[in-house]
Homo-oligomer: A and B are copies of this chain.
Amino acid sequence: MSTLTLRHVAIDTYKENVAYLHRDCKLYHSEGFQALNKIEIHTHDGDASIIAVLNVVDDDCITTPDELGLCEQAFEQLGGKAGIPVRIAHAKVPGSLKAVHRKIAGDRLGFEDYRAIARDIAANRYSKIEIAAFLVACTEIGLERDEVLHLTRSMIETGKRLDWGEPLVVDKHCIGGIPGNRTTMLVVPIVAAHGMLVPKTSSRAITSPAGTADTMEVLSQVELSPDQLHKIVRAERACLAWGGTAGLAPVDDILISVERPLLMDSPGQLVASILAKKLAAGATHLIIDIPIGPTAKVRSRSSALVLRKLFEYVGDHLGLNLEVVLTDGRQPVGRGIGPVLEARDVMQVLENDPLAPIDLREKSLQLAGRILEFDPDVRGGRGYALARDILESGRALTKMQAIIDAQGRNSGPPGVGRFCHEVAATESGHITAIDNRQLAHIARLAGAPMDKGAGVDLHKKLGDSVEVGELLYCIYAEFPADFEFARDSAQQNSGFTTGDSYVDKVP
């Protein structure tokens, strides 16, 4: 068989293997590859092989007729050696795609099916459209809770799994959707100050105005090597870093790369995704925060309960000590929305500043209290008071400073954005609703999370009384264009609703 020379094509295709073959390549014509969507590529020694979607190139600068080009991730997967001889073949359909077709037809799948699917996805044998087919089939028919368990287990099995060598490794996770909800940066120092092991890694914001990693980055470095991360965790019992999940449940990352652009978010996928990542990261005890509210991800107590049961079922069967807390998701938590503003809120709470936002403080104490009660030596019901003691005594602040120093303190953190626009009330009365989505949207338009100082600073919250012309919130931005976008959006819809009276009814 003829061979081609492997070439690195410096294109990042976002979690899809793409191969580039020149239109004049002899193999392209003689082997009928032009009718195909996918090919299999083998190194000449037969040691490695990958599957890739085929793109056809008409420019020798990208790939010559004697070469096979691979996008960055595919090139790495095949071993990352340019110039070696490779063979190409028609890709076989991944064996587990039959199970996907059975799911499309309405069947319930078993553990062997999910394991086969996860293995094929982990080996990059699925193209993005095949992944989309799997996800839609799971959403449409729905997953039985046993199927969610199988999927979770399969996602863990197909990746690395960390072992911290301790019986109690705690973590927390919020299912998201509430701007300003930076409880992690308070919970972690509180429970670490108590001595619990909490190796916390967080994501950056994808569709929200700030993630924990973005906000922590205002104060310290967050991009740490696995070695640094382990050293810091051993020394401080905690970290507040970005990522660190490379190789953990890699199937989850691949599924998310398709779920996100599809705006899909089914309960089964959500639970499997969160629990697979946490278990692979070595967590033994986990608190899940599910905020409920009309503009939160979960809108009613009943759907929150369904989700809670699913978390509990899968967690229990995988030996994870898991507690689900349903929280108030009717409005943003704290005052700031955006990295710098949220970091300010967090530090105010840690410093016991009388101006600190009460709701952020209270929610963090509640969650930290629940985690502290995972400690067999903490009496049931005493967690909250213990968390409050740790916070008020300044021990949480000391721990936070130690974590910041260990990760690498940022000298002179950035301030708020140069441009400021005040949004004022147009009617008098009480604030009866605050739209999480619209405020997140305005903060993102203003530049958050890319511009650390951009965002929204709230001056009124639910139930507050307000007069015409009184300040509702400030928008901060770094750049004029962003500033205008955000201001225009706030003018169209401030996100605030005012009424005659407000009845406080926690959902």
Contacts and interface: CB of A to CB of B under 8 A. Distances in A.
A20 B104 CA distance: 34
A30 B62 contact: no
B127 A261 contact: yes
Interface in A457-507: 479, 481
Contacts of A450: 29-32
A142 B435 CA distance: 36
A55 B14 contact: yes
Contacts of A59: 9-11
Contacts of A10: 57-59, 62
Contacts of A56: 11-12, 14
Contacts of A137: 136, 140
Number of copies: 2
Contacts of A207: 35
Interface in A176-221: 205-207
Tier of interface size on chain A: 35 or more
A8 to B, nearest CB: 9
Looking at chain A's contact residues, the main secondary structure is mixed
Interface in A16-38: 20, 23, 29-32, 35, 37-38
Interface in A132-183: 132-133, 135-137, 139-141
Contacts of A235: none
A31 B481 CA distance: 10
B37 A133 contact: no
Interface string A283-322: 0000000000000000000000000000000000000000
Among A30, A72, A106, A261, residue most surrounded by chain B Cβ atoms (within 10 Å)? A261
A201 B9 CA distance: 38
Given A129-B128, A129-B258, A133-B136, A37 B14 contact: yes
A58 B106 contact: no
A132 B136 contact: yes
Contacts of A261: 37-38, 127, 129-130
Contacts of A379: none
Contacts of A418: none
Q: Which of A20, A38, A72, A479 has the most CB of B within 10 A?
A: A72
A101 interface: yes
A163 to B, nearest CB: 32
Contacts of A133: 132, 135-136, 262, 264
A97 interface: yes
A479 B136 contact: no
A355 interface: no
B23 A12 contact: yes
A59 to B, nearest CB: 4
A131 interface: yes
Given A129-B128, A131-B129, A263-B93, A61 B58 contact: no
A58 B72 contact: yes
Contact of A104 (B62, B71, B139): B139
A37 B260 contact: yes
Interface in A32-72: 32, 35, 37-38, 54-59, 61-62, 71-72
Interface string A432-447: 0000000000001000
Contacts of A12: 23, 55-58
B35 A101 contact: no
Given A10-B59, A57-B10, A263-B97, A136 B130 contact: no
Given A11-B62, A59-B10, A133-B136, A481 B20 contact: no
A315 B448 CA distance: 53
A130 B61 CA distance: 32
A10 B9 CA distance: 13
A445 to B, nearest CB: 10
A352 interface: no
Given A12-B23, A133-B135, 16 more contacts: A1-B481, A10-B58, A10-B59, A11-B20, A11-B57, A12-B58, A35-B206, A101-B263, A104-B140, A105-B140, A127-B261, A129-B131, A129-B261, A130-B262, A133-B136, A133-B262
11 contacts: A9-B62, A10-B59, A11-B57, A11-B59, A12-B23, A12-B58, A30-B450, A30-B479, A32-B444, A35-B205, A37-B261
A-B CB proximity, top 4 nearest: A10-B59, A132-B132, A10-B58, A37-B261
